[in-house]
Structure 1
C-alpha cells in the first residue's frame, strides 16, 4: 500500500511545472511518505525543518484569527507550502517560479491519501 502511495506522489511531481517535492509527515515532522526530484532542497526535506510548521501554526493561531490551515513561504530559490491536516502535515516544495495556486491546488489531490494515512496514524 505504501508503494502505491509513493507512486501516486511521484505521478503528481510531473503534473505541475516547478513542483520539486511532496512530503507527508506527522505533527512532529517525522516523514511518512516522500517523493522528490533531484532538484528538491535537501535541507527542507529534513525532519528538523519540517517540524517547524507545528510551532509556526501554533504561534499564528495566537493572533486570534482562528486555526491555521496553510502557510506559504517564499524564499530566494524555492517556495514551500505547508498544509495542516492534523495529525498529518503536507509539505509541498516548488521552484520560485512555480505557480503557487497550482501547488496549493494539490491539496485536493492529496486529501484522500492523507485521510487513509490519518486513520493509520491515529490508531
Structure 2
C-alpha cells in the first residue's frame, strides 16, 4: 500500500503545481481523519484540522434533510481562502485554495481523482 500512497502523493503534488492558487489537497474519511495530504507552505493549518474538515459530513446531512438531494460538492469562500469539498463517501476530498483560484479548474479535477479515491476507498473498506 505504501507504493500506492507515494504514487498518489506525487500525482497530487503535480496537480498542485499546475493549478495557481491551489494550496492543499486532503483526502479524509467522513470524520475528517486524514488519509492523504499534499500541501504547500501557504496552507492555513486550521483549515486542515479534523474538526474543521468533519463539518462537511454535518453539512451534507443537513442538505439532505432539507430535501435538496445528495450533496456532491460544497464550496465555501472566505476572505483569503476557498475550501472546496467533494463527497466521495466513504471519503471526502478537500481542496484549500486562495480566494482567487479558479474554482472551475478545481472542480474539473473530480474525474481525474476518481482512480485514486477508489483505491483509497477500497483500502478503507478493508480495514
Report TM bin, short chain: over 0.9
Residue 56 of structure 2, aligned match among 28, 53, 73: 53
TM-score norm. by structure 2 comes to: 0.94
- Displacement of 1:4 in angstroms is 1.3
Please state if 1:104 is matched with 2:107. Answer: yes
Question: Which residue of structure 2 lines up, in the alignment, with residue 77 of structure 1?
Answer: 80
Extract unaligned runs of 5+ from structure 2.
none
Please state if 1:118 is matched with 2:105. Answer: no
Partner Cα separation in structure 1 for residue 20 and residue 111 of structure 2: 17
Taking only aligned residues, the RMSD between alpha carbons, in angstroms, comes to 0.7
Once the two structures are superposed, what CA deviation does each residue of 1:58-101 show, in whole Å capped at 9, x if it has no partner?
01111102111110000000001000000000000110001111
Partner Cα separation in structure 2 for residue 14 and residue 61 of structure 1: 35
TM-score norm. by structure 1 comes to: 0.97
Q: Which runs of 4+ in 1 moved over 2 A?
A: none
Aligned residues: 123
Partner Cα separation in structure 1 for residue 50 and residue 9 of structure 2: 18
Question: Which residue of structure 2 lines up, in the alignment, with residue 12 of structure 1?
Answer: 15
Extract unaligned runs of 5+ from structure 1.
none
